[in-house]
């Protein structure tokens, strides 16, 4: 299967799962539900859930085991986009060629729609955590009744697996919360840096959090759900950090020289807001050099997986070459 076909396959899987969720879990307020659905189903690359699924598939085959987390991370991403577009932050009128949420509805509804998607993301994960049940096998021989027996719980192979699974999902929940926190902090720093020239390490710190936090989380969740070794997790995290920063640098470049018709929104907003970006700091060519280097290093990080990692390698190149 070539890259474009496989990418489309993943996008279709994610879209189908998002549609299923949004229809099943409607907000009690119809207008607010419409606003949430409007942004969530407006299109987009679905890069974060795809990264999660593709990372998982490096080690396991049945991606249905991680669809819950794919849905959750796409909800968080759309929460961030709705709030990012608001007049108090980037003040964007269009996204994906359509009016942004606050333009389609109003500013208050957009804020609440973003909040609703964030809350739904946590609901999705917490429900999965709750449903990860422990099968406690105990016996009361004398009365022929089942009773709770700690030794049976600990010694049962099946229950050891359940405990391991539960601990893994608690770890994922904690990493999920930490990534959301870092993403919000990165967005705050972005607004604080407007009109200022900052050191490269500060710029990198901002972008690794604002954009990179969710991309890194996507890869780490896929690896954790696949029960990878810590060595694998760290290797994949290195890959994710590099493509996360590369993604933001590419966004900076597209804001300077992208095609408005392809992007679905006006270019030049970074310059208008006097944002500190890799382009404003190093110029277009300097930003492109940094982008190319990061993608090359990211691909090298996962070459150890051979042909199995071909899609993730192509995905890194896709991030570099994309036009929107």
What is the number of domains present in the chain?
1
Is residue 32 domain-resident?
Answer: yes
Looking at residues 62-73, what average pLDDT do you find?
94
Asked if residue 259 has pLDDT above 60, the reply is: yes
127 in helix, strand or coil?
helix
Q: Helices (DSSP H) in 25-133: which residue ranges?
A: 30-40, 47-57, 67-84, 101-104, 107-131
Is residue 137 domain-resident?
Answer: no
How big is the chain by its Cα radius of gyration, in Å? 21
21 in helix, strand or coil?
helix
Nearest Cα to Cα of residue 316 among 228, 266, 267, 245:
245
Is residue 295 domain-resident?
Answer: yes
Is residue 26 domain-resident?
Answer: yes
How many angstroms separate the CA atoms of 323 and 71, rounded?
25
Q: What's 190's domain CATH number?
A: 1.10.600.10
How many angstroms separate the CA atoms of 197 and 281, rounded?
8
> Is residue 165 a contact partner of residue 132, using CB atoms and an 8 Å limit?
yes
Percent of the chain whose predicted confidence (pLDDT) is above 70: 91
* Reported confidence tier of residue 160, pLDDT bands at 50, 70, 90: low
Token code pair at residue 106: 């109003």
> Is residue 207 a contact partner of residue 243, using CB atoms and an 8 Å limit?
no
How many angstroms separate the CA atoms of 107 and 33, rounded?
15
Q: Please, what sign has the CA dihedral across residues 180, 182, 186, 188?
A: positive
Is residue 239 domain-resident?
Answer: yes
98 in helix, strand or coil?
strand
Nearest Cα to Cα of residue 223 among 103, 59, 70, 78:
59
What is the tens place of the pLDDT at every residue in 228-245?
999 999 999 999 999 999
| pLDDT of res. 139 | 33
**CA-based end-to-end distance of the chain:** 24
Is residue 138 domain-resident?
Answer: no
- Helix/strand/coil percent split, the chain, to 5: 75, 0, 25
What is the tens place of the pLDDT at every residue in 15-67?
999 999 988 877 778 999 999 999 999 988 999 999 999 999 999 988 998 99
Looking at residues 151-165, what average pLDDT do you find?
61
Looking at residues 182-199, what average pLDDT do you find?
88
Is residue 146 domain-resident?
Answer: no
| pLDDT of res. 133 | 58
Is residue 103 domain-resident?
Answer: yes
Mean pLDDT of the chain: 89
How many angstroms separate the CA atoms of 70 and 74, rounded?
6
Nearest Cα to Cα of residue 216 among 93, 102, 47, 82:
47
- List the domain range (segments joined by +) for residue 177: 3-129+154-321
Nearest Cα to Cα of residue 54 among 318, 314, 312:
312
């Amino acid at each position: 299967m070539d890259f474009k076909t496989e990418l489309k396959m993943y996008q279709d899987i994610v879209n189908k799962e998002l549609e299923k969720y949004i229809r099943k879990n409607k907000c009690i307020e119809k207008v607010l539900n419409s606003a949430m659905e409007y942004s969530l189903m407006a299109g987009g690359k679905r890069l974060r859930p795809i990264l999660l699924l593709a990372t998982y598939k490096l080690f396991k085959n049945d991606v249905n085991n991680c669809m819950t987390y794919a849905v959750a991370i796409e909800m968080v991403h759309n929460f961030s986009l709705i709030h990012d577009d608001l007049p108090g932050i980037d003040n964007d009128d269009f996204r994906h060629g359509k009016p942004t949420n606050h333009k389609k509805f109003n500013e208050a509804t957009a804020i609440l729609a973003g909040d609703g998607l964030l809350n739904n993301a946590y609901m999705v994960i917490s429900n999965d955590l709750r449903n990860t049940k422990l099968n406690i096998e105990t016996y009361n021989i004398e009365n022929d009744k089942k009773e709770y027996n700690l030794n049976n719980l600990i010694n049962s192979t099946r229950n050891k697996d359940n405990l391991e699974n539960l601990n893994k999902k608690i770890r994922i929940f904690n990493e999920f919360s930490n990534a959301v926190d870092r993403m919000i902090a990165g967005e705050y720093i972005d607004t604080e840096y407007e009109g200022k020239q900052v050191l490269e390490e500060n710029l990198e710190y901002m972008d690794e959090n604002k954009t990179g936090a969710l991309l890194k989380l996507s890869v780490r969740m896929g690896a954790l759900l696949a029960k990878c070794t810590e060595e694998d997790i760290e290797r994949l995290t290195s890959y994710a950090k590099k493509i996360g920063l590369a993604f933001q640098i590419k966004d900076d470049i597209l804001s300077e020289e992208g095609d408005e018709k392809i992007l679905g929104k006006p270019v030049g907003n970074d310059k208008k807001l006097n944002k500190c970006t890799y382009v404003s700091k190093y110029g277009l060519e300097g930003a492109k050099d940094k982008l190319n280097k990061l993608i090359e290093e990211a691909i090298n990080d996962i070459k150890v997986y051979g042909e199995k990692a071909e899609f993730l390698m192509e995905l890194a190149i896709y991030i570099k070459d994309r036009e929107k």
